[in-house]
Amino acid sequence: MTDKLPVSVIGLGLMGQALAGAFLKAGHPTTVWNRTASKADRLVAEGAQPAPTVDDALTAGSLTIVCLTDYQAVHELLDASELKGTTLLNLTSGNSAQAREAARWAEQRGARYVDGAIMAIPSTIGTPEAVILLSGPHLQDLDALGTVTHLGTDPGLASLYDVAGLAMMWSVLNAWLQGTALLRTAGVDAATYAPFARQMAAGVAEWLPGYAQQIDDGSFPAEVSALETDARAMAHLIEESEASGVNAELPKLFKAMADRAIAAGHGAEQYPVLIEEFAKPQPTTTRRDERSA
Ligand code: FVH
């Protein structure tokens, strides 16, 4: 007997197995279902209840966690199921429109729907390192999974934070790769540059609260450096890359954005003024160039 919330986990891929394993370890009565039934074997050996059908899984727990490849798979699997009275937590990755549409779809069928994004890898699930973001109605009793944060009632918010996090991750990695490629032309290996790059990334991260305040205030006084100064440094990066035979697409992309902001009269302001370029669609001329490239 336990007072822990009974849960069902539908979808036992790498992530679903980690989620179900964490619930089991924390003492939640855990029911599992997967299309390929053999993926439940290890969890069942550890104490999970196997559900014979997906509909059995939906009725077994007070909370059903769904973690499939994508939203299309969620609809393929659950469109024909009775959802009335269930509470669904969908931890499948997608975009905010898919999340909001799934919330409408579930609510029309009488389910309580929470959308979530997992910003973690399977091995960290069940530890504080695993960041899990939720949006929609508030859910309790998910501490077994990691650091769970409720963002608000808009079901699209978790997916929006997820893609914003991905933008950060790939931008930092791409910037590091650009520098690594440049330094390798002078015989500096990636491992030698990595500690310096890490220090740079951490230093830049320190600027974020102040820059965020400028964006929220809509005022961009050049306290550290003007955008025109930054644009000249971007030109050095492009020149250096081209001279060394290194790909210059990435610096050219952000220099083009800075040049547009300067042409619009923002050259004497500070870097976050570029939010105005990020906040609007890509100009049609650039899109045409891309198509003809
Ligand atoms: N793994 C990770 O590190 C990332 C971290 C960030 C968030 N993601 C998202 O989590 C979702 C699941 O990812 P996964 O790593 O568990 O993925 P797979 O191991 O490939 O498992 C996919 C499961 O989905 C089942 N499935 C797919 N299509 C259907 C369908 N039409 N009907 C029923 N089930 C379906 C699949 O079943 P099977 O192939 O084993 O029978 C797996 O259970 C994902 O959104 C990530 O972006 C993980």
pLDDT digits (tens, 9 = 90+) for 242-276: 999 999 999 999 999 999 999 999 999 999 999 99
- What is the C-alpha separation between 227 and 208, in angstroms, rounded? 16
Distance 37 CA to ligand 1 centre (A): 14
| CATH class, 185-292 region | mainly alpha
168 contacts 182 by C-beta, under 8 angstroms = no
Q: What mean pLDDT do residues 161-171 have? A: 96
3-state secondary structure the chain: CCCCCCEEEECCCHHHHHHHHHHHHCCCCEEEECCCHHHHHHHHHCCCEECCCHHHHHHHCCEEEECCCCHHHHHHHHCCCCCCCCEEEECCCCCHHHHHHHHHHHHHCCCEEEEEEEECCHHHCCCCCCEEEEECCCCCCCHHHCEEEECCCCCCHHHHHHHHHHHHHHHHHHHHHHHHHHHHCCCCCHHHHHHHHHHHHHHHHHHHHHHHHHHHHCCCCCCCCCHHHHHHHHHHHHHHHHHCCCCCHHHHHHHHHHHHHHHHHHCCCCHHHHHHHHCCCCCHHHHHHHHHC
CA 206, 125, 62: angle at the middle one, nearest 5? 120
CA 55, 59, 65: angle at the middle one, nearest 5? 85
Cβ neighbours, 10 Å, residue 54? 19
Closest Cα to atom 2, ligand 1: which residue? Answer: 121
What pLDDT score does 45 carry?
Answer: 98
pTM of the model: 0.91
What pLDDT score does 226 carry?
Answer: 98
Pocket test for ligand 1, best of 35, 129, 162, 163 (most atoms within 8 A of CB): 35
pLDDT digits (tens, 9 = 90+) for 101-131: 999 999 999 999 999 999 999 999 999 999 9
pLDDT digits (tens, 9 = 90+) for 188-203: 999 999 999 999 999 9
Q: What is the mean pLDDT of the chain?
A: 96
- What is the C-alpha separation between 42 and 195, in angstroms, rounded? 40
What pLDDT score does 284 carry?
Answer: 79
Distance 12 CA to ligand 1 centre (A): 7
Closest atom, ligand 1, to C-alpha of 119: 6
185-292 matches 7-154 in CATH topology: no
Nearest Cα residue to 115 out of 57, 74, 58, 170? 74
- What is the C-alpha separation between 79 and 205, in angstroms, rounded? 43
Closest atom, ligand 1, to C-alpha of 73: 31
Domain segments of the chain as ranges: 7-154, 185-292
What pLDDT score does 283 carry?
Answer: 84
- Ligand 1: residues whose CB is within 6 Å? 11-16, 34-36, 39, 67-70, 73, 76-77, 92-93, 118, 121-122
- What is the C-alpha separation between 171 and 168, in angstroms, rounded? 5
Distance 116 CA to ligand 1 centre (A): 14
- Residues in contact with 249: Cβ distance below 8 Å, sequence separation at least 6, in sequence order: none
Closest atom, ligand 1, to C-alpha of 17: 16
CA dihedral defined by 107, 109, 110, 111, rounded to 10 degrees?
A: -60
Distance 17 CA to ligand 1 centre (A): 10
Distance 3 CA to ligand 1 centre (A): 29
| CATH class, 7-154 region | alpha beta
CA 246, 248, 249: angle at the middle one, nearest 5? 135
